[in-house]
């Protein structure tokens, strides 16, 4: 996967067609589907982000979102703002050859479809994967969802050339508003992913595994059921530090993801990214500035301690 080029014209044409015919961008779910789409089934699957002649330096980006309760609106927001996300990553040069994977998280203790994982895509097939997601809207009501199961998949069932060839981590964004369970349960892994584990895996071990290869962020948006709950934020700050990010406005999620990647790739500093949002006419500048203030300060501190090096491919001296 990962071939092809994203086209906003193709996206707009598909959107116009859906509007003219009254079809939903999430037709699989809205038609009443209650089982995982075959293209998003994590069982016996490995998702790959690979280099090619078309995309010689792939940057893998995974966006996994909670679709329980109030969070089920997140993919609809993402779908409408895909052009902005791709525009910032590609046209502004925040990341080389971005390949984006979308997936969804539920509750493996009670939901029919607790884990859905798409492919890494460079073109409009990423929009197709979004449209295949079941927006179950379930959850168990106990302030926990199966985020740990998604992290397990990302740690053990993804392969990227960015890591294997260049030793560089990809970007993983989990969008949610609850706690993870404290253990990855062997029986859930066997039933949903197909691995035969001899015992459960502690949450902290899974976080250590996934953050080794993935620069991992947890986005907690306003308007969700547990937004503003100190217990949830403290839980994720304990696991991910400043990479647990609060969003005052869910509509700013794509811009937040794009600027976070730009910061991570050292393509921009936060002020430059905010100016890019202003020039693009985005209304998310204030939200993104507040959300990424801590991250921006840390990135500035990191860059200030790096020695300059010569990029022999481009002939540019960088920090």
For 111-156, the pLDDT digits (tens) are 999 999 999 999 999 999 989 999 987 765 678 999 999 999 999 9
3 inside domain: no
Measured between alpha carbons, how far is 186 from 70 in angstroms, rounded to an integer? 28
Query: How much is the pLDDT for 24?
Result: 87
Average pLDDT of the residues in 34-43: 96
For the chain, what percent of residues have pLDDT higher than 70? Answer: 90
Task: Name residues whose C-beta falls within 8 Å of residue 288's C-beta, 6 or more positions apart in sequence.
Answer: 252, 255, 256, 259, 273, 274, 277
Pairing of strands 98-105, 115-117: antiparallel
| Average pLDDT, rounded, for the chain | 89
Q: Average the pLDDT over each of 65-69, 136-140, 153-157, 299-303 and give the range with the smallest value.
A: 299-303
Q: Residue 251 has which token pair? A: 């509509």
Handedness of CA 46, 33, 2, 126 (dihedral sign): negative
User: How far is C-alpha 129 from the chain's CA centre?
Assistant: 13
Q: Residue 177 has which token pair? A: 């508003």
Statement: residue 319 has pLDDT above 50? no
51 inside domain: yes
240 inside domain: yes
Query: How much is the pLDDT for 298?
Result: 74
Query: How much is the pLDDT for 312?
Result: 42
114 inside domain: yes
Average pLDDT of the residues in 34-41: 96
* pLDDT range class, residue 71, cuts 50, 70, 90: confident
Average pLDDT of the residues in 97-115: 95
Q: Average the pLDDT over each of 13-27, 132-146, 162-176 and give the range with the smallest value.
A: 132-146
Q: What is the CATH number of the domain that holds 174?
A: 3.40.50.410
274 inside domain: yes
Select from 174, 167, 246, 233 the least CA-distant residue to 206: 174
Average pLDDT of the residues in 220-242: 84
Count of structural domains, the chain: 1
Statement: residue 314 has pLDDT above 60? no
**In this structure, what DSSP letter does residue 216 have?**
E
What angle is formed at CA 235 by the lines to CA 45 and CA 246, rounded to 5 degrees? Answer: 85
Query: Domain containing 83: what range?
Result: 8-318
2 inside domain: no
1 inside domain: no
Query: How much is the pLDDT for 43?
Result: 98
* pLDDT range class, residue 310, cuts 50, 70, 90: very low
In this prediction the pTM is: 0.91
Q: Average the pLDDT over each of 140-149, 167-176, 287-296 and give the range with the smallest value.
A: 140-149
Query: How much is the pLDDT for 309?
Result: 39
Q: Residue 80 has which token pair? A: 């409408």
187 inside domain: yes
Residues in the chain: 319
């Amino acid at each position: 996967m990962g071939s092809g080029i994203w086209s906003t014209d193709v996206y707009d044409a598909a959107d116009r067609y859906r509007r003219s015919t009254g079809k939903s961008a999430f037709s699989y779910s809205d038609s009443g589907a209650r089982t995982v789409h075959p293209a998003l089934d994590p069982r016996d699957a490995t998702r790959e982000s690979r280099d090619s002649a078309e995309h010689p330096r792939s940057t893998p980006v995974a966006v996994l979102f909670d679709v329980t309760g109030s969070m089920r609106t997140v993919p609809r927001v993402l779908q409408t703002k895909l052009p902005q996300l791709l525009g910032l990553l590609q046209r502004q040069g925040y990341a080389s050859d971005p390949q984006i994977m979308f997936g969804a998280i539920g509750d493996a203790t009670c939901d029919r479809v607790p884990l859905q994982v798409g492919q890494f895509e460079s073109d409009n097939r990423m929009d197709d994967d979004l449209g295949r997601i079941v927006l179950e809207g379930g959850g168990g009501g106990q302030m926990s969802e199966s985020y740990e199961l998604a992290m397990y998949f990302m740690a053990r069932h993804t392969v990227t050339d960015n890591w294997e060839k260049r030793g560089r981590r990809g970007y993983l964004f989990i969008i949610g508003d609850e706690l993870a369970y404290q253990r990855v349960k062997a029986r859930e892994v066997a039933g949903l992913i197909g691995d035969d584990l001899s015992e459960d895996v502690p949450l902290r071990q899974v976080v250590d595994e996934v953050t080794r290869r993935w620069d991992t962020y947890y986005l907690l948006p306003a308007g969700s059921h547990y937004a503003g709950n100190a217990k949830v934020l403290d839980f994720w700050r304990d696991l991910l530090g400043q990479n647990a990010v609060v969003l005052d406005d869910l509509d700013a999620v794509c811009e937040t993801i794009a600027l976070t990647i730009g910061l991570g790739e050292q393509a921009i500093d936060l002020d430059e990214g905010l100016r890019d949002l202003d020039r693009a006419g985005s209304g998310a500048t204030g939200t993104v500035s507040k959300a990424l203030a801590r991250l921006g300060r840390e990135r500035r501190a990191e860059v200030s301690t790096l020695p300059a090096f010569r990029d022999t491919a481009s002939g540019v001296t960088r920090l």
